[in-house]
Amino acid sequence: MPESEAAARARPERSTELVRKTEQIVRSKLHNESTGHDWWHADRVRSTAVRIAREESADELVVELAALLHDVEDFKFSGSEDTGPRFAGDFLRSIGVAEQDANHVADIIRNISFKGARVTPAPLTLEGHCIQDADRLDAIGAIGIARTFAYGGYRRRPIHDPEVAPVEHDSVQSYLSTKGTTINHFHEKLLLLRDRMNTEFGRKLAEERHRFMEGFLAEFDSEWKGER
């Protein structure tokens, strides 16, 4: 039996129904999304976050719900840091999720995003650590590279300009308003994520993905310079 099916059967029926309803709303919100923050991203983050939650003995229902909802009405697109968390909390309460759990999910969504290399991260619960690690893992490696260029195209960023240096952003506003290149984004965020994982399991998974990105960037640089 596949792991996801076994997990669903082991989960109490009430929790299974809450997850099913959450999947439906996330699919409806993100199915046409083309920046790399689509339904399949949410689904991958959910799967990885639940794996980490089991290793860390975290609350799997909170982790699964927050992972599914974490990019709905995200601040990168809505322009508001409150819209996504508020939507998640209101939606979960509307389908019968306990107030404490709905608030927990909303707080995680408010605080998990990377907002600049020099921006002090917000404190997170164990469940928040599981989701943040899973979200960051999907930002690196082969899928992370693909998502980075999809998002760069959406933001109309140049692929590369060797005369434009990476920036260590010290505020959310600076990070979100950057006009830098897609290659710079690797240096401004993605290559930093391996060392910012919260869990041992997350760090283990990040190592190979980080090395893959380093290999890609080395090949990119060689081809850019005409050495290959």
CA distances from 114 to 87, 125, 136, 158, 169 (A): 20, 16, 9, 22, 11
Domain 3-224 annotated CATH 3.40.1390.10 = no
Q: How many CB atoms lie within 10 A of CB 55?
A: 14
Neighbours of 44 (CB within 10 A): 17
What does the alpha-carbon distance between residue 222 and residue 220 come to, in Å, rounded to a whole number? 6
Which residues are within 8 A (CB) of 41 and not within 5 positions of it... i.e. 6 or more apart? Answer: 30, 71, 138, 147
Q: Return the number of other C-beta atoms located less than 10 Å from residue 57's C-beta.
A: 8
Give me the sign of the Cα torsion angle 220, 136, 47, 73: negative
pTM: 0.89
**pLDDT at residue 228, rounded to an integer:** 79
Provide the terminal-to-terminal Cα distance of the chain, rounded to the nearest Å.
47
What is the spatial distance between Cα 157 and Cα 182, in angstroms, rounded to a whole number?
6
- Which pLDDT belongs to residue 177? 66
Report d(CA 228, CA 32) in Å as an integer. 37
- Provide the CA 96 distance to its chain's centre, in angstroms: 26
Please state, in angstroms and rounded to a whole number, the distance separating the CA atoms of residues 133 and 44. Answer: 12
pLDDT by residue, tens only, the chain of 228 residues: 344 444 444 456 778 999 999 999 999 999 989 999 999 999 999 999 999 999 999 999 999 999 999 999 987 777 778 899 999 999 999 999 999 999 999 999 999 987 666 667 788 999 999 999 999 999 999 999 999 999 999 999 999 999 999 888 766 666 666 778 999 999 999 999 999 999 999 999 999 999 999 999 999 999 999 997
What's the sign of the alpha-carbon dihedral 98, 99, 102, 105?
negative
pLDDT for the residue 81? 82
Q: Residue 2: what pLDDT?
A: 43
